[in-house]
Amino acid sequence: MKHYLKKVMDQQDLTFEEMNEASRLMFEPETSPVQVAGFLSALKTKGESVGEIAGLVEVIRDKAIQLPIDFPGAMDNCGTGGDGSQSFNISTTSAFVMAGAGMTVAKHGNRSISSKTGSADVLEALGVKLTATKDEMAHLLSTHGIAFLFAQHVHPAMKQVMGIRKSLGVPTIFNLIGPLTNPVKLTTQMVGIYRRDLLEQMANTLHQLGRKRALVINGADYMDEASLAGENFCVLLDRGELMQFTIKPEEVGLMSASNDTIKGGDAEENARILRDVIEGKEGPHRDVVLLNAGLGLFANGKAQTVQEGVQLAKESIDSKKALAKLDGLVDFKYDQDVKGR
């Protein structure tokens, strides 16, 4: 670890292979916590490269709970958090809408870190089991088209560095990689990021991690979601090629609205908002979900345009298919249903 620490302190980027080895050392109990803290701080000061981010992600995914089968075409729409917007759980709500539109959604998420309510908190309030086994998660993805992969549950190795991260008290590379560490082998993905300067870097990282198609977005007012408040900045990855574009809600038939109109609250309040949207209640909450789900369907390739994606999202809600995905996840009996296969 000393070798890699010195190289980073000298402002040199590590190769993918070097970061892979350094990351494995980070998770070894014999490695000094002081060295790990110094390494993370030096990376932050230097600025993390694509190879460094991808190298760490691969190690975390290798150490994660592995599902017994692959799911070709499965997608995730997790964001990095950290935007300070205090919005309700937009990406979690959008996941049910996308699943209702026919996509297989492996929704990866965690409890609240930078917001009032994380995806795990709101789903728990809705009655979703957070600690499904790998067989249960696989069964849900295969039969129901959506499953929740609780980050704390599927990444047990992260406990090794949690204390160090808390002691540092500042953002590190770990604050960038949450959406990238889904243990399901994804070919498509939508990632929201609060740092507009990292859009292309995140897209290139997704390419290095094997995504065929992906969308990275930074919303108006630097949200890690698409926003109704103005111009949203996007980078589309399509088979190795990057394309930048911006999009406003009016361009896809939605009303603009300030970010104050989509603020959430505690887990119970956000669970109510989520269910209201899925049940068809009109307003900014629905519109911002339509925009994000539409972008997700476009990122996946199920929709050829964002406008078509928004239309598919509307049909998913209005047909009650999105609601069926939510209720099916809540009502699933887990071990009983899996044993009954």
79 among annotated binding-site residues:
yes
Structure tokens at 109: 């998420």
292 among annotated binding-site residues:
no
CA separation for the pair 72, 147 (Å, rounded) = 15
Q: Which helix (H) or strand (E) holds 146?
A: strand 146-150
109 among annotated binding-site residues:
yes
Q: What residues are paired with 146 via a beta bridge?
A: 105
224 among annotated binding-site residues:
yes
**CA 41 → CA 7, 125, 166, distances in Å?**
13, 36, 13
258 among annotated binding-site residues:
no
**CA 188 → CA 108, 296, 327, distances in Å?**
14, 9, 25
| Residues 293, 299, 300, 301, CA torsion sign | positive
Sequence-distant (6+) residues with CB within 8 A of 324 are 100
Structure tokens at 80: 């990095």
341 among annotated binding-site residues:
no
119 among annotated binding-site residues:
yes
- Count other Cβ atoms within 10 Å, centred on residue 138: 19
Between the CA atoms of 57, 62, 68 and 72, what dihedral angle is there, to the nearest 10 degrees? 30
Between the CA atoms of 32, 38, 42 and 44, what dihedral angle is there, to the nearest 10 degrees? 100
110 among annotated binding-site residues:
yes
225 among annotated binding-site residues:
yes
89 among annotated binding-site residues:
yes
**Inter-residue contact 121 to 111 (CB < 8 Å):** yes
247 among annotated binding-site residues:
no
270 among annotated binding-site residues:
no
Sequence-distant (6+) residues with CB within 8 A of 115 are 81, 85, 86, 87, 264
256 among annotated binding-site residues:
no
87 among annotated binding-site residues:
yes
Task: Report the 3 state secondary structure along 187-218.
Answer: CEEEEECCCHHHHHHHHHHHHHCCCCEEEEEE
2 among annotated binding-site residues:
no
142 among annotated binding-site residues:
no
CA separation for the pair 41, 31 (Å, rounded) = 16
115 among annotated binding-site residues:
yes
CA separation for the pair 295, 281 (Å, rounded) = 20
188 among annotated binding-site residues:
no
Which residue positions form the known binding site? 79, 82-83, 87, 89-92, 107-115, 119, 165, 224-225
Which residue positions form the known binding site for 5-phospho-alpha-D-ribose 1-diphosphate? 79, 82-83, 87, 89-92, 107-115, 119
Which residue positions form the known binding site for anthranilate? 79, 110, 165
Which residue positions form the known binding site for Mg(2+)? 91, 224-225
